[in-house]
Structure 1
Amino acid sequence: MKEDTDSKKWFNVEYVPKDYIFPKEERPENLDTPVCDSIPVIDLSKSKSVETILMASRELGFFQVINHGIPEKIVTDAMSVLKEFFDMPSKDRTGIVPHKKGYIYTNSTDYAKDGVHLWRENIKHPCHPLEECIHLWPEKPTRYQEVIGAYLKEIQKLSSRILEMICEGLGLEPGYLEDTSEVSLLSSNLYPPCPDPSLTLGILPHQDPSLITLLYQGNSTGLQVMKDSQWINVGDFPNAFVVNIGNQLEIISNGKLRSIKHRVVTSTHETRISIATFVNPSPDCIIEPAKVLVNELEPSRYTASQYKEYVKSSKAYGDYTVAIQNALHS
């Protein structure tokens, strides 16, 4: 498949190319499954939001939040500047290997498994500490750094608020999670229309290696979660953020909260842009069940480990983490 140009993108095809077709056992089925109405949409302005967040985190590991306090303009500006980025010619989206630049952009070279490509374009970059990372982000569009920087400041406030509510729900002391967490990675995906979504995937089934992940998906669908051994579509709710529990918070909660599998499927007619921000523990932080949640009746279910060692052993972000660390310290 040829590199895209200003006039023709790699995904402007009538048929799905062979190297984008997944084996039959990995292809999405039942793409017309109903939107999951059991994923709560939680109004953060309501007094009982702590209880509903904890219940959703226990039962499904996913929920959406509204009345979250992030100005709508901040979000629409972020989505707009990312669309501008993905619309640029490939020569202006360099950064496939982050040497001097602290970001990775992948187009049709994004292998998922056994040489099969994902049907997406993606940009990843670090976010913490913001003042040290921001100059490593794309310089085009010219307003990218300013707009995404403003977006991430709001995400930091919202994620801290949600983590504090989870602490309260679990019975942990105030600040237990906030003091060791950081919004450390942004990953934005463009999922173009696909001639046959039953053959492709936007993202493989996975669990997040984070504490929590905050996702803005705009007015689009495609995110699916595994519920009762079935893939269920997560609906798009106006001006809402999808929040999911990551592996690290499942460990800290001693299994009380759930990190579950999710994936992204494609569409024949819809272009989807999403912004995922990963709230991770500090690299040197020891991740283990909170002591107040461990007792004789509920012994520890997980072995303590340093977060950076977890990332290395699980290859949670592939070679990206190592490359970014090198870029930040070069």
Structure 2
Amino acid sequence: MGGETHLSVQELAASLGALPPEFVRSEQDQPGATTYRGAAVPDAPVIDMSEPGFGARMAAAAREWGLFQVVNHGVPSAAVAELQRVGRAFFALPTEEKERYAMDPASGKIEGYGTKLQRDLEGKKTWNDFFFHVVAPPEKVDHAVWPRSLAGYREANEEYCRHMQRLTRELFEHLSLGLGLHGSAMAEAFGGDGLVFLQKINFYPPCPQPELTLGVAPHTDMSTLTVLVPNEVQGLQVFKDGQWYEAKYVPDALIVHIGDQIEIFSNGAYKAVLHRTTVNKEKTRMSWPMFVEPPGELVVGPHPKLVTEESPAKYKAKKYKDYQHCKINKLPM
């Protein structure tokens, strides 16, 4: 983007009546044709973290779905509401102001405001603008890409991140125990206090033909896990047993995605969830995913106790930054 002005999806949505062809997905990828609408649609698990035995249910969901929603998770609703408020405020800024924070991959600036991370293999665009930056650890944070003119933006993100750090430790513990490992196994394998937390805001404006396009194309997350706050507009879809299912909106729930690094660590016992996002004709959908990543230099591979003669290693151990490079550039793993 080079810092130059580009047409955002937000601006485009305000000025057209039909979907431009570069946003129209191929037929096998169009949500209108491929979302499962049968009689018995299974729901992704919703796990109440105040109930006994919830950790075992998390582990089962990570094996079967690669995704679950948590309620009574201990993150104050006020902290979530403030994160959402400042995110909406960012996208309400004038275009010129948002452009001050534009990504510039050519110069190595990959944090900031943008319209797409990359085109997919068919050269199609997705109906999505975004803003993202690192929130922790402190030595990796660049406050220059945080919007300085928004009252409360920094405070909201830093407070929410503290809650995410606590919740992540708890999720790691129960997912480790679910593999028959020590409760600290995942936290140790993924870098402990060096874990990187990236906050993203996805903005999906109203779309004239939502059945033909996607907000985010099908993918698994590179991270260990992702914790996502949605707004009330339905949109997240999960691929399971050969079908695309909607992950229904649950008020006050946080959505947990199992990412590639946990699948690798678990030697395939837990599944990274293949997911995509649909958009709405009348309403703006927004979401706030927090990606939890190992430090780039850290080597991640299957845990030694999960590799046996009966279950040999399914994945190569490699530095997380090398894994990222291969996945982003679609190179062999």
Scaled by the length of structure 1, what TM-score is found? 0.87
What residue in structure 1 maps to residue 37 of structure 2?
A: 33
Task: List per-residue Cα deviations over 1:238-263 (Å, max 9, x = no partner).
Answer: 11011111111111111111113100
Given that 1:78 and 1:148 are in contact with CA atoms closer than 8 Å, whether structure 2 keeps it comes out as yes
Task: List per-residue Cα deviations over 1:219-243 (Å, max 9, x = no partner).
Answer: 2211001011110000111110111
What residue in structure 2 maps to residue 21 of structure 1?
A: 24
Q: 1:63 & 1:129 partners in 2: Cα distance? A: 26
**5+ unaligned residues in a row in structure 2: which ranges?**
none
Task: List per-residue Cα deviations over 1:6-39 (Å, max 9, x = no partner).
Answer: xx93212221123322233432224573795431
Q: Secondary structure at the match of 1:177?
A: helix
Structure 1 residues 2 and 38: alpha-carbon distance in aligned structure 2, compared to 1, 3 A threshold: closer
What residue in structure 2 maps to residue 194 of structure 1?
A: 207
Given that 2:86 and 2:153 are in contact with CA atoms closer than 8 Å, whether structure 1 keeps it comes out as yes
Given that 1:121 and 1:189 are in contact with CA atoms closer than 8 Å, whether structure 2 keeps it comes out as yes
**5+ unaligned residues in a row in structure 1: which ranges?**
319-330
What residue in structure 1 maps to residue 59 of structure 2?
A: 54
What residue in structure 2 maps to residue 321 of structure 1?
A: none
What residue in structure 2 maps to residue 10 of structure 1?
A: 12
Task: List per-residue Cα deviations over 1:107-156 (Å, max 9, x = no partner).
Answer: 48974454432111101111221365162322132321111111111111
Q: Does 1:96 align with 2:102?
A: yes
What residue in structure 2 maps to residue 153 of structure 1?
A: 162
What residue in structure 2 maps to residue 141 of structure 1?
A: 150
Task: List per-residue Cα deviations over 1:268-314 (Å, max 9, x = no partner).
Answer: 12211100111112222211111111222222222211111111122
Q: 2:109 & 2:305 partners in 1: Cα distance? A: 43
Structure 1 residues 89 and 107: alpha-carbon distance in aligned structure 2, compared to 1, 3 A threshold: farther
What residue in structure 2 maps to residue 65 of structure 1?
A: 70
Between 1:226-235 and 1:284-293, the stretch displaced more is 284-293
Structure 1 residues 32 and 172: alpha-carbon distance in aligned structure 2, compared to 1, 3 A threshold: closer
Question: Aligned to 2:273, which of 228, 247, 260?
Answer: 260
Q: 1:146 & 1:316 partners in 2: Cα distance? A: 35
Q: Name the aligned partner's letter for residue 11 of structure 2.
A: K
Task: List per-residue Cα deviations over 1:178-220 (Å, max 9, x = no partner).
Answer: 2315243222101111111122110000011111111111322
Given that 1:218 and 1:239 are in contact with CA atoms closer than 8 Å, whether structure 2 keeps it comes out as no
Q: Secondary structure at the match of 2:293?
A: strand
What residue in structure 2 maps to residue 121 of structure 1?
A: 129
What residue in structure 1 maps to residue 173 of structure 2?
A: 164
Structure 1 residues 300 and 103: alpha-carbon distance in aligned structure 2, compared to 1, 3 A threshold: closer
Q: 1:162 & 1:68 partners in 2: Cα distance? A: 10
Q: 1:101 & 1:290 partners in 2: Cα distance? A: 33
Scaled by the length of structure 2, what TM-score is found? 0.87
Percent identity (aligned): 31
What residue in structure 1 maps to residue 302 of structure 2?
A: 289
Q: Name the aligned partner's letter for residue 75 of structure 2.
A: I
Question: Aligned to 1:206, which of 219, 226, 239?
Answer: 219
Question: Aligned to 2:47, which of 42, 45, 62?
Answer: 42
What residue in structure 2 maps to residue 237 of structure 1?
A: 250
Q: 1:186 & 1:173 partners in 2: Cα distance? A: 29
Structure 1 residues 295 and 31: alpha-carbon distance in aligned structure 2, compared to 1, 3 A threshold: closer
Given that 1:85 and 1:140 are in contact with CA atoms closer than 8 Å, whether structure 2 keeps it comes out as no
What residue in structure 2 maps to residue 76 of structure 1?
A: 81
Given that 2:135 and 2:157 are in contact with CA atoms closer than 8 Å, whether structure 1 keeps it comes out as no
Q: 1:51 & 1:129 partners in 2: Cα distance? A: 30
Given that 2:44 and 2:65 are in contact with CA atoms closer than 8 Å, whether structure 1 keeps it comes out as yes
Between 1:117-126 and 1:107-116, the stretch displaced more is 107-116
Given that 1:191 and 1:202 are in contact with CA atoms closer than 8 Å, whether structure 2 keeps it comes out as yes
Given that 2:43 and 2:248 are in contact with CA atoms closer than 8 Å, whether structure 1 keeps it comes out as no
What is the aligned length?
316
Q: Does 1:221 align with 2:234?
A: yes
Shift of 1:72: 0.2
Q: Name the aligned partner's letter for residue 38 of structure 1.
A: D
Q: 2:219 & 2:88 partners in 1: Cα distance? A: 25
